[in-house]
Amino acid sequence: MFRGSIPALVTPFRDESFDEEAFRAFVDWQIDEGSQALVPCGTTGESATLTAGEQAQVIRACVEQTAGRVPVIAGCGSNSTALVKQYMKAAEEAGADAALVVLPYYNRPNQEGIYAHFAALTEASILPIIVYNVPSRTVTDIDPETLGRLARLPTIVGIKDASGDMTRVTAHRALCGQDFIQLSGNDDMALAFLAMGGVGTISVTANVAPRLFAEFHNAYLGGEREKALALQDRLFPLHKALFSDASPGPTKYALSRVRPGFRAELRLPMMPPSDASRKVVDRALEHAGLV
């Protein structure tokens, strides 16, 4: 259903407002470059600083511009179950193909609370749900056994795993079934994740290098392991550079280098990357052959 290179899209801003024209052009470029699905309103899209109205606008613009060419997985996460239900309803009405739902943050629910959260969402919407596990941001973590329970629910179809624990790919295969969709949430670990049984990556790097990252996935999933390894080596400095300062600052800066006219504007509390970070990004872009 969902596989390959899937960028977690940045949200362009102009004078502190959502720049819909720039976003629609960005969506077209991503599809033309080979991205196999799109995620609006994820963490990289600065979803935490969007209003509910803006979030619905971004998702609707993405669905409309995509026009069925690739799936749209709408970011719908919150630490409030009731609010996620509202986001999922809006995404469903906009025509999204699935919802990406991060584990509840700040509240720090126990495993039973995590299960109940997602179970309630399956009853509130028909949208397929991809669970997003990123303990470095949420503090909350989902045990493989809890995910295995959730995988028995009909609309829980996969996970974006940014735990950094590679052994979980195998554990999830055993507990959730081999058809359960496993997507890496760490670009720098994508090669190992695929080797363990994953089928793709919800990616930050794909914002900047969509064609190269799509080629990397196509090569590995198509059995061209040496080509995939060469592309991994080419992209690895960029994977690291885009987190050399608070994300998505370095990513928006990189986009301003590879897409002339792209505005690297961020919304507070995010700030532009430091001089040191920009230099690291510049070197990584040169290494990847993107500038």
* 209 part of a folded domain: yes
pLDDT at residue 158 tops 90? yes
Long-range contacts made by residues 170-174, C-beta under 8 angstroms, separation at least 24? 170/196, 170/197, 171/144, 172/144, 172/147, 172/148, 173/197
pLDDT digits (tens, 9 = 90+) for 33-79: 999 999 999 999 999 999 999 999 999 999 999 999 999 999 999 99
The domain in which residue 139 lies consists of 4-225
Q: How far apart are CA 242 and CA 284, in angstroms?
A: 9
For β-strands 4-7 and 200-203, DSSP reports them as parallel
DSSP 3-state assignment of 19? coil
Q: Which two tokens stand for residue 148?
A: 């295995």
Q: Is residue 132 part of a domain?
A: yes
Q: What pLDDT score was predicted for residue 1?
A: 81
The confidence score (pLDDT) of residue 142 equals 98
Which are the catalytic amino acids?
132, 160
Residue 207 near residue 7, CB atoms below 8 Å: yes
- The DSSP bridge pattern shows strands 13-14 and 17-18 to be antiparallel
Distance CA 276, CA 7 (A): 25
Nearest alpha-carbon partner for 160 in 227, 101, 116, 239: 101
For residue 260, being part of any structural domain is answered with no
Cα separation of 124 and 254, whole Å? 39
**Cα–Cα distance measured from residue 34 to residue 132, given in angstroms and rounded to the nearest whole number:** 23
Counting beta carbons within 10 angstroms of the beta carbon of residue 222, is it exposed (0 to 12), middle (13 to 18) or buried (19 or more)?
Answer: exposed
Cα 123 to Cα 199: distance, rounded to the nearest angstrom: 27
pTM confidence score: 0.96
Structural domain includes residue 271: no
Sequence-distant (6+) residues with CB within 8 A of 25 are none
* pLDDT tens-digit series, residues 11-34: 999 999 999 999 999 999 999 999
Q: State the helix-helix crossing angle for 81-94 and 111-124, rounded to 10 degrees.
A: 30
The tally of domains found in the chain comes to 1
Residue 209 CA to residue 135 CA, distance in Å, equals 26
**Do the Cβ atoms of 288 and 237 come closer than 8 Å?**
yes
Percent of the chain at pLDDT above 90? 99
As a whole number of angstroms, the distance between CA 62 and CA 121 comes to 23
Region 161-173: mean pLDDT is 97
**In what side-by-side order are the strands of the sheet with 156-161?**
4-7, 200-203, 181-184, 156-161, 129-133, 98-102, 73-75
CA 184 to chain centre: 9
Q: What's the pLDDT tens digit per position in 217-235?
A: 999 999 999 999 999 999 9
Establish if 237 belongs to a structural domain: no
In a domain, 135, yes or no: yes
Look up the CATH number of the domain holding residue 97.
3.20.20.70
Average model confidence (pLDDT) across the chain:
97
pLDDT tens by residue, 100-149: 999 999 999 999 999 999 999 999 999 999 999 999 999 999 999 999 99
Q: Which among 105, 101, 107 is positioned nearest to 122, based on CA atoms?
A: 101
CA dist., res. 110 & res. 92, Å (int): 28
